[in-house]
């Protein structure tokens, strides 16, 4: 995917997730089945907690990213990146403590939705300032996959929200 496609997918997939969350009744927003890890509200907070550090990382000067994380040796496609994430989950990978949501009350729903919308808008603005080459040239650390290019991190962000959207749908069934 090129930069414009990535920005569109980030917006579309997060908007779809937010629209679904917004459509839930208060009870469904709070509901957690015996087999579910988190409620819809917690899934929403987890997505917010996952996007925030990427947004912050893209404020770091590129030469510092290069110094801290090195240069990518390869760039995976969207599908390859999604597969790497799925494999890490199958091998026992779990969200780190900084990404684990608290209990989310119905009163926090609109604030979290608004905050996530702002984050995605801000992330897309930061992506706009990067070149296509920058997306492949600089790396960020992913807690389960390891060091990946900015492009791969954005692929992950697109996949991740869909993964959790699906979890919310399955929890409500």
DSSP structural state of residue 153:
H
pLDDT of residue 35: 73
Distance CA 84, CA 23 (A): 32
Report pTM.
0.94
Confidence band, pLDDT 50/70/90 cuts, at residue 72: confident
- pLDDT greater than 80 at residue 34: no
pLDDT of residue 166: 94
pLDDT of residue 32: 87
Residue given tokens 């959790």 in the structure block: 164
Q: What is the mean pLDDT of the chain?
A: 94
- pLDDT greater than 80 at residue 19: yes
Q: What is the mean pLDDT of residues 147-162?
A: 96
Output the CA torsion sign for 138, 48, 118, 9: positive
pLDDT of residue 59: 95
CATH architecture of the domain formed by 3-172: Up-down Bundle (1.20)
Distance CA 73, CA 57 (A): 20
Q: How would you class 173 by CB atoms within 10 Å of its CB: exposed for 0-12, middle for 13-18, buried for 19 or more?
A: exposed
Q: What is the pLDDT of residues 89-138, one digit of tens each?
A: 999 999 889 999 999 999 999 999 999 999 999 999 999 999 999 999 99
Q: What is the pLDDT of residues 130-144, one digit of tens each?
A: 999 999 999 999 999
Which are the contacts of 9, defined by CB distance < 8 A and separation ≥ 6? 1, 158
- Put residue 36 in one of left, alpha, beta given phi > 0 → left and psi -120 to 50 → alpha: beta
Query: Are 126 and 59 a contacting pair, CB within 8 Å?
Result: yes
DSSP 3-state percent helix, strand, coil across the chain (nearest 5): 70, 5, 25
């Amino acid at each position: 995917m090129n930069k414009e496609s990535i920005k569109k997918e980030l917006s579309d997939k997060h908007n779809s997730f937010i629209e679904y969350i917004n459509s839930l009744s208060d009870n469904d927003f709070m509901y957690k089945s015996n087999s579910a890890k988190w409620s819809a509200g917690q899934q929403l907070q987890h997505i917010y907690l996952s996007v925030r550090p990427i947004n912050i990382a893209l404020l770091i000067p590129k030469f510092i990213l290069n110094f801290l994380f090195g240069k990518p040796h390869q760039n995976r496609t969207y599908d390859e990146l999604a597969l790497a994430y799925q494999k890490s989950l199958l091998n026992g990978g779990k969200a780190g403590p900084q990404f684990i949501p608290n209990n989310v009350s119905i009163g926090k729903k609109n604030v979290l939705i608004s905050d996530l919308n702002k984050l995605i808008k801000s992330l897309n603005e930061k992506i706009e300032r990067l070149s296509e080459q920058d997306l492949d040239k600089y790396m960020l650390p992913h807690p389960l996959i390891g060091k990946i290019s900015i492009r791969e991190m954005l692929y992950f962000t697109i996949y991740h929200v869909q993964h959790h959207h699906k979890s919310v749908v399955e929890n409500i069934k």
